[in-house]
Amino acid sequence: MNNSPLVEIDAQRYQVQIDLIYAGADNLAGRVIYPDARCLLHHQAAECLSKASQLARQAGLTLRIYDAYRPPYAQYLLWDALPNNDYVRDPHLGSHHSRGVAVDLTLVGADGEPLDMGTEFDAMEEKSHQFHPGLPVDVQRNRLLLVGIMLAAGFETIATEWWHYELPNADDYPLLDDV
């Protein structure tokens, strides 16, 4: 990673929790995707993550990261499990995760439990859409809190996944091969 734009996200340094879902088999692919799990982000995304972590802590909350940089081989494995462009980007187009500029995360309360976001991470259904109508008020509030923190830190959101945030102009960043 000498010339790589990726930096390792250290839980203590960034004051976040790291729970890389694809390092285990309990995920949408039903198998381990990352045998050597490391939480990596493009250095510009890492700067925004640092700001987001600070904002979350000001609200008495912590960020829990579920996914960050995703090697291209991993994108192919996820596509094989769910070939649906609404939820998993076609690996031929290049995932924003494979550029190191996307992060999947949630907010954790002082009790150590994730805030209720209405669905689990990677629930590939309409209820996972960022502004799905009919969600309970507390769920809407929690999602809006996460959106506010992440937008203020410099990220953008997408419509179909409440947990997914990425740098603006994510397609402008190059795909980063396995590191």
User: Model confidence over 8-55: pLDDT tens digits?
Assistant: 999 999 999 999 999 999 998 999 999 888 999 999 999 999 999 999
Exactly one of 8, 120, 125, 161 is catalytic; which is it? 161
CATH of domain 6-172: 3.30.1380.10
Higher-pLDDT residue of 29, 147: 147
8 is annotated as an active-site residue: no
CA dist., res. 124 & res. 113, Å (int): 22
| Domain regions of the chain by residue span | 6-172
Cβ count within 10 A of residue 116: 16
Does the pLDDT of residue 1 top 60, yes or no? Answer: no
State the pLDDT at residue 165.
99
At 139 the three-state DSSP class reads helix
Residue 105 phi, psi (nearest 5): -160, 175
Provide mean pLDDT across the span 68-90: 85
Residues composing the chain: 179
State the pLDDT at residue 179.
64
Higher-pLDDT residue of 36, 167: 167
Furthest-apart CA atoms within the chain: distance in Å? 48
State the pLDDT at residue 92.
82
Cβ count within 10 A of residue 135: 19
Specify the pTM. 0.94
110 exposure class (CB count in 10 Å sphere: 0-12, 13-18, 19+): exposed
Query: Nearest to residue 108, comparing CAs of 166, 158, 66, 68?
Result: 66
